[in-house]
Structure 1
């Protein structure tokens, strides 16, 4: 019975390695696409804010941009 227990240890290790390997190799491109779209929206918002700040500075006659 003890030899059976020693044979089960590598079996469980192999099953655990297979599960971890399939999890590590999963396709994660869907999350990247939404994150990149969010980053593009963030950049657009920052550009709009910067343009508004430049326009406001130009309108008030200030040289500080």
Structure 2
């Protein structure tokens, strides 16, 4: 019976690792890069203005 308990420990750990891996690798719905790209565009335009203004 003790041998069965020692075999169940890795089995439970493997099942837990599989569940955690599938949860960590799930597809998350994100807003996308639209806001970051818009911010970068504003930054680039501001840099172009400061370069041509000098």
The TM-score normalised by the length of structure 1 is 0.57
Structure in which a larger fraction of residues adopt helix: 1
Determine which structure has more spread, i.e. the larger CA radius of gyration: 1
The TM-score normalised by the length of structure 2 is 0.63
Q: Higher relative contact order at CA 8 Å, sep ≥6: structure 1 or structure 2?
A: 1
Q: Alignment RMSD, CA only?
A: 2.2
**Runs of 4+ displaced beyond 2 Å:** none
Q: Which structure 1 residue ranges, 5 or more long, are not aligned?
A: 58-65
Aligned residues: 54
